Structure 1
Amino acid sequence: MTTTTTVASAPRHNRPARRISGRPAKRPLPWGSPAVYFVALVVIALTVAPVAYIVLGGFRDNSQLTVNPAGLPSPWRIGNYSHVLHTSTFWREFLNSVIAGGVTTLLVIGLGLSASYVIARYRFRGRGLMFGLFAAGLMFPITVAVTPLFILLTKMHMIDSLVGVILPQVAFGLPTTIIILVPFLQAIPMEIEEAAAVDGCGRLGFFFRMVLPLSLPGVLTTGILTFIASWNSYLLPLFVLSKTQNFTLPLGVQQFHSQYASDTASVLAFTSLSMIPALLFFTAFERRIVGGLQGAVKG
């Protein structure tokens, strides 16, 4: 007669985590404190509420805004937006903003990437001082230099032109660009440059064939930040531009508000249309910005 011995299996909760491909299974993260989520929701509400009010206010009329300022559109009216979109003033100011933002972004990326490449890859006397000067530029906002800039641009005959807006924006956009791009370029191994030199690739060839592709996340990050800053710029165009045909959208909002002060709904519609492009642009490239900043910190 044979006896069968059974071995009791270990309880399921005592078994070690099953490994997949030699790695321990991931455990779900704890939810954390409810207070953290409450604070986050409050911050989100304070950020989104003004934008939502402006956008929804454009779909209302003045009587709705007077009777119930915080209510939803009832009924929804698209006449305010269609009126703004059918005016040539809006599209002229939109084009001026695109030109100022686009040219500023291209110049900042081109000059900033070139200067960052020299600071990151070359060894010369005064290299640290040069980088420190660009870093010090972060401490001086453009509002501090508006009056000297106005005097300088007047002597250079650049008042009432987009060039007078673009050049100062480029100068004040370079410090942030260089601070972000230098770590990217320093992280490129020297062995790659040496191998490229052995293969007959010169410094310019290495710059365009290797540096540009490898630093693309940082370039996109700085480009997006520069374009949004130029699009939202108000104080500098206010001092430099006085002719309405050269106005950008931030100045156009002020002019439209002065012209249609009694039509609050139309003013909200014009404001919404002026800020929506920047919001969409930032939302579309949000991951690029976060990835680029993380790469700069790691580098």
Structure 2
Amino acid sequence: MARRTLTYLAALVVVGVTLVPLLFTILGGFRTNAQINNAPGGWPSPWVAGNYTAVLSSSVFWRAMGNSALIAVVASALAVAVGAMAAFALSRYTFKGREGLYTLFTIGLLFPVTAAALPLYLLLRQLGLLEHALGVALPEAAFSLPITIVILRPFMHAIPGELEDAAAMDGAGRLGFFWRILLPLSRPALTTVAILAFVTSWNAYLLPLLVLSDPANFTLPLGVAAFQSQFSQDTARVLAYTAASMIPAIGFFVFAERHIVGGLTGSVKG
């Protein structure tokens, strides 16, 4: 009983720490600066929709959202495509150095973006990818590869070899088995890694900051920072802009939560 009580208390603390700042930001966008100054943690009274209306009618906001969506889609597609092929080789082929290569990918989970900031910037400048969506999407896809392979490899490894033998008897080669059988059966794990890569790319700040300096190319995290600097005295509008930039990612993550749980469960069993 005591253990269960502590578990519930810990869960409530986590939920509170997560939701309270989120609610403060969303509700703060429905208040005026005077209301926030008088009672920072108060309830909107009256409710003011003008802050959100101003943000959602701004072309700057929608341009930043479009940039974020484009980069996130490209980075997710690349991470899933390359990660699926690498996980297929690491799970279904036997070759010298396979486990060492897999270990190298797992070590990549510990590799921070900040450690590669300078060489990455120099490389992208040499390739002419600064101020370009691919200059952000390619590194983001690369940094998503470790978690993609770590999730996909055990999932693909758990698929019975008898299916591959049956496919070979029907005339399907290894690529045919990969495309027609393995990928459809791995759909829960593929959905999981695609969602994780998308949300990670959507929320990324350092890589876009490193590559993009033109406000016309800013993603939403950079747009939030620029908006906060420009309207530093208008706290209510800053909160509205921040909340509006968070809602798409939160909604997408909540909608896809069951797919994430299903994919992670299957990979752990594998």
Distance in 2 of aligned mates of 1:136 and 1:154? 27
What TM-score comes out, normalization by structure 2 length?
Answer: 0.97
Deviation at 1:39, TM superposition (A): 2.4
Q: Where does residue 70 of structure 1 map in the other structure?
A: 41
Q: Where does residue 115 of structure 1 map in the other structure?
A: 86
Distance in 1 of aligned mates of 2:100 and 2:184? 28
* Residue 219 of structure 1 pairs with residue 190 of structure 2: yes
* Residue 129 of structure 1 pairs with residue 100 of structure 2: yes
* Residue 289 of structure 1 pairs with residue 234 of structure 2: no
User: Secondary structure of 2:94's partner?
Assistant: coil
CA deviations over 1:246-267 (Å, ceiling 9, x no partner): 1000000011111111111000
CA deviations over 1:267-297 (Å, ceiling 9, x no partner): 0000001011110111011111111111111
Matches within 5 A, 1:103-252: 103-252=74-223
Which structure has the bigger radius of gyration? 1
RCO higher in structure (CA 8 A, sep ≥6): 2
Distance in 2 of aligned mates of 1:35 and 1:178? 35
The structure richer in helix per residue is 2
2:32 to 17, 40, 61: 61
User: Secondary structure of 1:170's partner?
Assistant: helix
Look up the equivalent residue of 2:83 and give its one-letter code.
Answer: G
Q: Which stretch shifts more, 200-209 or 216-225? A: 200-209
Look up the equivalent residue of 2:231 and give its one-letter code.
Answer: Y
Look up the equivalent residue of 1:103 and give its one-letter code.
Answer: V
- Name the Cα RMSD after superposition: 1.2
Deviation at 1:32, TM superposition (A): 5.6
Gaps of 5+ in 2: none
Q: Where does residue 298 of structure 1 map in the other structure?
A: 269
Deviation at 1:31, TM superposition (A): 9.2
Distance in 2 of aligned mates of 1:224 and 1:83? 30
Distance in 2 of aligned mates of 1:137 and 1:32? 36
2:242 to 271, 278, 282: 271
User: Secondary structure of 2:109's partner?
Assistant: helix
Q: Where does residue 13 of structure 2 map in the other structure?
A: 42
User: Secondary structure of 1:109's partner?
Assistant: helix
Deviation at 1:42, TM superposition (A): 1.8
Q: Which stretch shifts more, 150-159 or 77-86? A: 150-159
* Residue 280 of structure 1 pairs with residue 225 of structure 2: no
* Residue 261 of structure 1 pairs with residue 261 of structure 2: no
Deviation at 1:124, TM superposition (A): 1.5
Q: Which stretch shifts more, 252-261 or 126-135? A: 126-135
CA deviations over 1:189-242 (Å, ceiling 9, x no partner): 111110111111222221111101111111011000000000000011111100
Distance in 1 of aligned mates of 2:70 and 2:199? 13
Q: Where does residue 81 of structure 1 map in the other structure?
A: 52
Determine what percentage of the aligned residue pairs are the same residue. 51
Does the C-alpha gap of structure 1 residues 280 and 31 become closer, same or farther in structure 2, counting only changes over 3 Å?
A: farther
Deviation at 1:38, TM superposition (A): 2.0
1:52 to 6, 23, 44: 23
Distance in 2 of aligned mates of 1:283 and 1:33? 26
What TM-score comes out, normalization by structure 1 length?
Answer: 0.88
